[in-house]
Chains A and B, each alone.
Chain A
Amino acid sequence: MSRLGAIHKLWRSIAPRTHSDVEEEFRSTLDSYQEDLIRQGLPEEEAYRKARIDLGRPAFQNEAYRKAIGLRLFEELGGDIRYGLRALRRNPSFTAVAVISLALGIGATTAMFSLIYAVLLHPFPYAGADRIMNPVMINPQFPNEYQYFTRSKAQLDDLRSATPVDSVLGFSGRHMEITADGLPEDIYVTYLTENAESFLGVRPLLGRNIEPSDAEKGGHSVAVLNYRFWQRYFGADLHVIGRTLEMDHTPYTIIGVMPRSFAFNDINGVGDVYLPASLIRAVANGPPAYVPWIKLRPQVTVAAANALLEPLVLEGMKQHSGATAWHLALQPIIEPYQQDLGRTFALLLAGVILLLIIGCANCSILLLARGRTRQHELAIRMAIGASRWRIMRQLLVEALVISCVGAAFGVAASYWLARLPLLLSPDSFPAESVIRINSTVLAFSVTLALLSGTLFGLAPALRLSRNDPARGLPGRQASPVLVPARHRWSILVAAQVTLTLLLLATAGTAIRGFLRLMQTPLGYDPTNVMQLGISLHTHDPAEWSRIQSREARTEYIEQIREKIASVPGVSTVAVGIDATPPVADGQSSFIIDGSSDSEELRARLMLVDQHYFAALGIPLLQGRAWNADENNRGDFIAIVNRAFATRYLSLSNALGRQLRVPDLLPHNRYQAVSAQSVAWRHIIGVVGDARNDGVDQPVEPAIYVPYTASLPAFAQFLVRTQGDPLMSLHSIRAAIASVASDQQISNSASDFNGTFTLSQAIERDAQYSRQRLFSMLFGVFSAMALGLALVGIFSLVAFSVAQRTTEFGIRLALGAPRAHILWIAARIALVSVAAGIVIGLACDTFLGAVLAHWMQNAFAVSSLFASAVLLAFSALLACLLPARRAVVVPPAEALRNE
């Protein structure tokens, strides 16, 4: 009760006084004054008059009151909005076209903005994400090939104590398997140093993150789950905290679940499970090594930090290898994405803004056209005293009502639109960017709505409020042959056509580029081939000792290979170490016989077996492939590709030459190399060029070496099957289990060492997915733009025909040929369409070079021409369809209209 009373009191204090209250007060004053006047000797009638002259009339007092307390503008605006809504309801087709025009533009722009916001402005959920750096090593000779490096626990502490450093997170990933029941399931585990909680600063969805106390007593067996893993494996169970997850026969207690936006991390794979780093058991030689993330102190520049940290990092390096000439570079964690995405987004944003402008132009045209039918109404309002400002405000408010309704639909649509690029090109974006409509995005779209409403409403408002009531009022139409105010429409239509052509030509270029990319010969046959990754058990000392030697490991891999080959439906199985096209990992330097040592030669080093070429359909051009014995030995032989032979040797005398690959030395402790891996190798064969640097890049020179020359703790099988390879996956897994019951395969399709078909690998290729993204999005944008422009042209002609029915009737009655009528009806838009196309062609030729550079794609004159023809043809249709109505009007009926 008391609360109700308080609310009532509050309302009383802010509510305006009622009409009767104000009027009564004024009346009492008026009466007192009148009595005074009578007392002074005025006759009653005179006093009554004088009081009202001096003080004003009671009827107007309420308006004075509301004006004084600032309510009047508010009320008038409310009236304007109500009136605008009513007018929109009366004209449903007009409203639908206008609202859809804007909804498309605002929706697309909002979607793009929320994408940019999520991906470039706020991609990471971490605290102080802009200060978190990826330290990389850069070889000054090849500055684009940066390398990540690892640090020991002591070295992490050294980094922590350096002045520019706020804190350091160390992490390390490895495959494990879930050993609870059934076929072993692969799981990717990320170990985090125990400061993870404070360094990352991400609030867990459930439970807690890893904390310093978890390091006690050699590390607590606790696990934090990744959101997706939690959903997949635990069915998003809210009571998962405290349950046990058994990995590699060790139970871990689940202490937390991270939120969806947390996908740590992009460098060595998103972990399914996060464990305290103290749990890492050193199995091979040397202590555990971590990839560091460095969070700088605020206000420390990257350059300063680089200079301060470089000696510290390089000193540690010397103990491992002689990498003295390398430089340290701290990379903001967004940098790998920013380089490519900035350009992509600039282009896409330009596209949607063009779309928005076209939509606005449409609304302007519609409002202008409709305004002609409202001249009468507006003239009456002006005649009874509405100011020009009042009329303008009314028209602007109506425009804003349209734009706000459009924005509401647009924002709803943008929710889905913004996901489209992520679906089309998932690998181009940070895994952690989550698209959501937040307050910033909403504020953006509301601003956009107000801006565009003002933009398209202003021209019609200015034009229509200039009406001279004397001209608008008498009769319904002053003269039957009304000369339409054409120039404003013409400019709008021409601008629309120009922009549409621009978008069409861009889409044409993008689609052409994508088609060209799809048709480029790959040099290998990806159909029905699948990669299957396995990780060897390095963390289980018993198992690791069994396969630690090179020979044992080779035999293990060969056994699995043979078992897979015996699965029905499998035709060829090959082994490769990160040699799956279209991108093979890593450049290596090599030395060729007879070349001087001073120049450094580089080629892709492909570690494969002898079945690789058959499995991928790479033709052998000269010489021979190696046999099983040579494969097991691993030494003294190599095969090169055609690009290698032509660049470094000559195609005719490549066979029999010798080369050495010093990089075949072991890089980490899990690697097992053959006795003579870095010795001279004879070139025994030359194979055809298969893409190894991405789908659209020229094939790099490549050296194929038996994989047994340098064996890491993982391998990939390339399986060619007769049908869809994923269909055989289950029987292949069973075959692998028959060799080693706990050998899991890598499940994740996004993992480099995962399981995917080679066709999927092509779709994931950066250039391929970008081109596909461009061609699909610009295809959609330009289709929308074309639709909008056509609707604009159509409605313009339709409105003007409807307006000029009388004129056409008279012309027909006087004997004008129908073709002529058609021409003057369509003329209003046709001329501006033609002008728009000409200007558009000129703009495109000028912009062509810029666009081609930005899209990394040749700008095609043919696609420009095709777009122009398409646009001209459909614009002609949009003009002629409504213009036909002018011709079919019977003259007698048209004149009866008068």
Chain B
Amino acid sequence: MTKPVELPQGTLEMLILKAVSLGSLHGYGILLRIQQISGERLEILQGSFYTAIYRLERRGWVKGQWGESENNRRARFYSLTSAGARQLKAETAKWIDMAAVVAGILDKKTDNI
């Protein structure tokens, strides 16, 4: 079994944006999708999950709209706004960049330094 990974601060927002970018989802759906994509490896702190969504909505990166869920329940669906799309793109680039740099440093052998 794969080991669960703990999320660094601030990355939850990025993941939510990514999840929503694939199609509009309600809150629980976002939670499920992130877990699904990560192969069940991410343990999302439930409490902070909605806080992150509220913050994204406040900033105008996602937009919430009431609709009908798959099991005919009223639910609030979130979709990515154009500002959110830009943000996701920027964050992704930054993240990959940073990860590469950090990984590069950590990979260095002692005699190469």
Interface residue? A33 (CB, 8 A): yes
B8 interfacial contact with A, CB 8 Å: no
Contact assessment for A69 and B58 in the assembled complex, using a CB-CB cutoff below 8 Å: yes
**A68-B73 contact given A29-B26, A32-B28, CB 8 Å threshold:** no
Q: Out of A28, A61, A70, name the residue touching B26 (CB < 8 Å).
A: A28
- Neighbour of A54 across the interface among B46, B51, B58, B71, CB < 8 A: B46
B75 contacts A25, C-beta separation under 8 Å: yes
A94 at the interface (CB under 8 A from B): no
Contacting A at CB under 8 A, from B21-52, are 26-28, 31, 46-47, 49-52
Query: How long is the Cα–Cα vector from A25 to B77 in the complex, in angstroms?
Result: 10
Contact of B27 among A29, A69, A70 (CB under 8 A): A29
A325 to B54, CA, bound (A): 81
Q: Is A600 an interface residue (CB 8 A)?
A: no
The main secondary structure of chain A at its interface with chain B is: helix
Measured CB to CB, the nearest residue on chain B to A67 is B51
**Which chain A residues numbered 353 to 406 have a C-beta less than 8 Å away from chain B?**
none
CB atoms of B69 and A32 under 8 A apart: yes
User: Which residues 77-102 in A have Cβ within 8 Å of B in the complex?
Assistant: none
Contact yes or no, A69 B76, CB < 8 A: no
Within 8 Å of chain A (Cβ to Cβ): is B74?
A: yes
Q: Does B89 contact A (CB under 8 A)?
A: no
Contact A69 B54 (CB under 8 A): yes
Kindly identify which residue among B31, B49, B60, B69 contacts A28, using a CB–CB cutoff of 8 Å.
B69
Q: Is the CB of A26 within 8 A of B50?
A: yes
User: A64 in the interface, Cβ–Cβ < 8 Å?
Assistant: yes
Q: Mark A1-36, 1 if CB is under 8 A from B, else 0.
A: 000000000000100000000001110110111010
One digit per residue, 1 when the CB lies within 8 angstroms of any chain A CB and 0 when it does not, for chain B 59-92 equals 0100010000101011110000000000000000
- How far does the Cβ of B46 sit from chain A's closest Cβ, in whole Å? 5
Using A28-B73, A54-B46, A56-B46 as known contacts, say yes or no to A33 and B55 having CB atoms under 8 A apart: no
8 Å CB contacts to B: which residues of A23-64? 24-26, 28-29, 31-33, 35, 54-56, 61, 64
Note all chain B residues with C-beta closer than 8 A to A54.
Answer: 46
Give the CA-CA distance A32 to B76 in the complex, in Å: 13
Contact B55–A24 (Cβ < 8 Å): no
Q: How far is the CA of A64 from the CA of B55 in the complex (A)?
A: 10
Q: How far is the CA of A29 from the CA of B71 in the complex (A)?
A: 12
| Smallest CB separation, A588 vs chain B (Å) | 81
Residue of B nearest to A28 (CB): B75
**A229 contacts the other chain (Cβ, under 8 Å)?**
no
How far, in angstroms, from A61 to B26 measured CA to CA in the complex? 16
- B27 nearest CB across to chain A (Å): 5
A68 to B56, CA, bound (A): 10
Chain B residues whose C-beta falls within 8 Å of the C-beta of A28 in the assembled complex: 26-28, 69, 73-76
A126 at the interface (CB under 8 A from B): no
Chain A positions within 8 Å of B31 at CB level: 29
Is A326 close to B, CB under 8 A? no
Interface centre among A25, A33, A55, A70 (most CB of B within 10 A): A25
Using A24-B74, A54-B46, A55-B46 as known contacts, say yes or no to A29 and B54 having CB atoms under 8 A apart: no
Residues of B with C-beta under 8 A to A117: none
Q: How far is the CA of A29 from the CA of B76 in the complex (A)?
A: 9
Question: In the complex, are the beta carbons of A61 and B69 less than 8 A apart?
Answer: no
A13 to B46, CA, bound (A): 27
A871 CA to B60 CA, complexed, in Å: 64
> Which chain A residue shows the least CB distance to B52?
A68
B27 adjacent to A64 (CB under 8 Å): no
Out of A13, A26, A31, A56, which one reaches B73, CB within 8 Å? A31
List A contacts of B28 (CB < 8 A).
28-29, 32-33
Q: Counting CB contacts under 8 A, is A65 at the interface?
A: yes
CB < 8 Å: which of B26, B58, B69, B76 contacts A68?
A: B58
A-B CB pair tally, cutoff 8 Å: 55
Among residues of B, the one whose C-beta sits closest to the C-beta of A53 is B46
CA distance A13 to B81 in the complex (A): 13
Q: How far is the CB of A351 from chain B (nearest CB, A)?
A: 50
List the B side residues contacting A70 at CB < 8 Å: 58
Most buried by A among B31, B69, B76: B76
Q: Is the CB of A25 within 8 A of B54?
A: no
> B51 to A64, Cβ gap below 8 A?
yes
Bound complex: CA of A35 vs CA of B55, how far in Å?
A: 27
Chain A residues contacting B58 (CB-CB under 8 Å) are: 68-70
Which residues does chain B contribute within 8 Å of A26, judged by CB atoms? Answer: 27, 50
Query: Within 8 Å CB of A65, what residues of B?
Result: 50, 54
Using Cβ atoms and an 8 Å threshold, which residues of chain B touch A31?
Answer: 73
Closest to A25 in B: B76
Q: Determine the chain A residues whose CB is within 8 A of the CB of B54 once the complex forms.
A: 64-65, 68-69
Q: How far, in Å, is A470 (CB) from chain B's closest CB?
A: 32
Which residues of B have CB within 8 Å of A69? 54-55, 58
Cα-based distance from A229 to B27 in the complex (angstroms): 75
Interface pair B74/A68, CB less than 8 Å apart? no
What is the 8 Å Cβ interface bit string for chain A, positions 588-609, against chain B (1 contact, 0 not)?
A: 0000000000000000000000
User: A369 to nearest B CB, angstroms?
Assistant: 43
CB distance from B58 to the nearest CB of A (A): 4
Which B residues lie within 8 Å of A35 (CB)?
A: 71
Partner of B51 from the list A24, A25, A32, A68 (CB cut-off 8 Å) is A68
User: Which A residues are in CB contact (< 8 Å) with B74?
Assistant: 24, 28
Cβ distance A49 to chain B, nearest Cβ, rounded Å: 14
A25 to B49, CA, bound (A): 13
Instruction: Report the nearest A residue to B44, measured CB to CB.
Output: A54
Within 8 A of B (CB), among A413-462: none
CB pair B76 A64 closer than 8 Å: no
* CB–CB A56/B76 < 8 A: no
Does A32 lie within 8 Å of B73, measured CB to CB? yes
A516 CB to closest chain B CB, in angstroms?
Answer: 71
CB distance B75 to A68 under 8 Å?
no
B29 closest partner in A (C-beta): A32
Minimum CB distance partner of A55 in chain B: B46
Task: Determine if B27 and A25 form an interchain contact, defined as CB atoms under 8 angstroms apart.
Answer: yes
A65 vs B76: C-alpha distance in the bound complex, in angstroms? Answer: 15
In whole Å, how far is B87's beta carbon from the nearest beta carbon of chain A?
17
Q: Which residues of A contact B55 (CB under 8 A)?
A: 68-69
Interface centre among A24, A26, A28 (most CB of B within 10 A): A28
Contacts of B69 in A (CB 8 A): 28, 32
Chain A 793-822 interface residues, beta-carbon cutoff 8 Å to B: none
Chain A residues whose C-beta falls within 8 Å of the C-beta of B76 in the assembled complex = 25, 28
State A65–B51 Cα separation when bound (angstroms).
6
Among A32, A61, A64, find the residue whose CB has the most chain B CB atoms closer than 10 A: A32
A32 (CB) vs chain B CBs: closest residue: B28
Of A13, A24, A33, A61, the residue contacting B50 (CB under 8 A) is: A61
Residues of B within 8 Å of A29, CB to CB, are: 26-28, 31, 50, 75
User: Complex formed: what's the CA distance from A656 to B73 in Å?
Assistant: 124
Q: Which residues of A contact B73 (CB under 8 A)?
A: 28, 31-32
A31 to B73, CA, bound (A): 10
Take A28-B26, A32-B69 as given contacts and tell me if A56 and B47 are in contact as well, using a CB distance cutoff of 8 Å. Answer: yes
- Cα distance, A24 to B26, chains bound together (Å): 12
Bound complex: CA of A26 vs CA of B26, how far in Å? 10
Shortest Cβ distance from B51 into A: residue: A68
Residues of A within 8 A of B52 (CB): 68
A68–B54 alpha-carbon span in the complex (Å): 6
Q: With A and B bound together, what is the CA distance between A707 and B2 in angstroms?
A: 115
Q: List 25 A-B contacts (CB under 8 A).
A: A24-B74, A25-B27, A25-B64, A25-B76, A26-B50, A28-B27, A28-B73, A28-B75, A29-B26, A29-B31, A32-B69, A32-B75, A33-B28, A54-B46, A56-B46, A56-B47, A64-B47, A64-B54, A65-B50, A65-B54, A67-B51, A68-B51, A68-B55, A69-B54, A69-B58
Shortest beta-carbon contacts, A-B, top 5: A68-B54, A69-B58, A29-B28, A25-B76, A32-B28
Give the interface of B toward A (CB within 8 A). 26-28, 31, 46-47, 49-52, 54-55, 58, 60, 64, 69, 71, 73-76
* 14 new A-B contacts at CB < 8 Å, known A28-B26, A56-B50, A68-B50: A24-B74, A28-B27, A28-B69, A28-B75, A28-B76, A29-B26, A29-B50, A32-B28, A55-B49, A56-B47, A65-B54, A68-B52, A68-B54, A70-B58
